Structure 1
Amino acid sequence: MSETLLDVKGLTCPLPVLKANKALRGLAPGARLTVLATDPASVADFRAFCKETGHALVAFGEEAGTYRFVIRKREDPPG
């Protein structure tokens, strides 16, 4: 399973989510995107983003002011 790292430290809402959305578009279904952010608002933003888009927030943590989100891209609907 592929995993991609996106460092958006120093960026504020809504840029971390917008950049993550763009990165997810380029990934295969089921791939993982790890996002590193420093904006405290990103916690609520990523939870809402995943709920609305169907991507899975599989892990979340915070260490020394850096938030780490692991998002699994949703499987594309059958076409």
Structure 2
Amino acid sequence: MTEYDTTETLDVKGQNCPMPVVKTKQSIDQLTEDDVLEVLATDAGSMSDIAGWADTTDGVELVDQKEDGDVYKHYVRKTE
């Protein structure tokens, strides 16, 4: 269990750069403030790609990232 509740889950497994970031942005734009998006990816590069995107994008916060077997889980909060 996590300390945050996910509002929506985005499955981008099997998709490679830049699609995990592109789809994450599209999904986060549909959410409201304080919602948390869980992103499930199989591209190892998504760990740095999504972290870099969140660091340079106003209105989002990377809450957590986890590696679960061959799936990378990202938790992104919309902050505005």
C-alpha deviations, 1:43-68, integer Å up to 9, x for none?
11011010011311111100111000
Which one has a bigger Cα radius of gyration? 1
Secondary structure of the structure 2 residue equivalent to 1:30: coil
Q: Deviations over 1:17-74 (max 9, x none)?
A: 0001000111001111000000011011011010011311111100111000010012
* In 2, Cα distance between equivalents of 1:53 and 1:74: 11
TM-score, normalization: structure 1? 0.89
Q: Report the TM-score, using the length of structure 2 for normalisation.
A: 0.88
Cα distance in 2 between the residues matched to 1:64 and 1:31? 26
The runs of 5 or more residues in structure 2 that have no matched partner are none
| 1:11 aligned partner, one-letter code | Q
* Bigger mean CA offset, 2-11 vs 32-41: 2-11
* Residue 37 (structure 1) aligned to one of 35, 41, 49: 41
Count, aligned residues:
75
- Cα separation, 1, equivalents of 2:66 and 2:6: 20
